[in-house]
Amino acid sequence: MAKKRPSSKHKILAAAVELAHDSGPGSLSLEAVAKRAGISKGGLLYHFPSKAKLMQGLVEAYLKDFEAALDAATNPAKGKGEDLMSAYVRLSLIACDETHPPAAWIFSAMAEDPDFLNPLNEFRRRLLDRLKAHTPDLANVLTVFFVIEGLHSMKLFGANLVSDDERKLIDQNLLAMAQGRKPVIR
């Protein structure tokens, strides 16, 4: 709340995400981000007074987006009221598909200071706890969760290890497991 002028901050964060993705995580300098965002370095430092704050901003924006999507999907007042597990799987798979660029900035943050990613880890922990609470089959939850983590990891490292058909099979299986159905054997 209380955000009247998101325009510049958003532009900066978007620029950082793009830059990390297509120039490599190593080229995420303040000057380069500023240039990409179309402002000066001084201007960037006005909005994010240190590089650490920029990194925090990236993590927060990333988290906020996913949380908002999850909330929108599962909150009955806002839409379909999908169950948590299905929404989590569906949204995660969307984030892992070919149309979405990987979050390469994560490597920049990690190289800068691993602690920057603590909020991300804590979020994942809370999410896994919620998933466990929502379904009786622990092994099922863990399998689904870690397969998705694996897909994320593959995406992040830019490794395309599966064909389209294999990916479809994985997706179908995960969605089936999320709904408590039998996995597809093919």
Residues in contact with a second copy by the rule CB under 8 A: 24-26, 104, 107-108, 110-114, 117, 120-121, 124-125, 128, 137-140, 142-143, 145-154, 156-159, 161-162, 166, 169-170, 173, 183-186
Q: Is 51 in the site for DNA (CB under 7 A)?
A: yes
The answer to whether 85 and 135 are in contact (CB under 8 A) is yes
52 forms part of the interface with DNA (CB under 7 A): yes
Please provide the size of the chain in residues: 186
Place of tokens 């179309």: 38
**C-beta of 13: minimal distance to DNA in Å?**
13
DSSP for 53-118, please give it. HHHHHHHHHHHHHHHHHHHHHH-TTTS----HHHHHHHHHHHHTSTTSPP-THHHHHHHH-GGGGH
Q: Which of 67, 159, 51 is nearest to 119 (CA)?
A: 67
Q: Identify the residue among 22, 24, 38, 113 touching DNA (CB under 7 A).
A: 38
Contact flag: residue 90 with DNA (CB under 7 A): no
- In the complex, least distance from residue 158 CB atom to DNA, rounded to whole angstroms: 21
Closest CB to a second copy among residues 73, 102: 102
Q: Any contact of residue 28 with DNA (CB under 7 A)?
A: yes
Give the one residue of 10, 14, 21, 45 binding DNA; rule: CB under 7 A.
45
Please report whether residue 30 would count as binding DNA according to CB under 7 A. yes
Return the H-helix or E-strand segment holding 32: helix 30-37
Q: Which is nearer to a second copy, 75 or 121 (CB)?
A: 121
SS3 26: helix
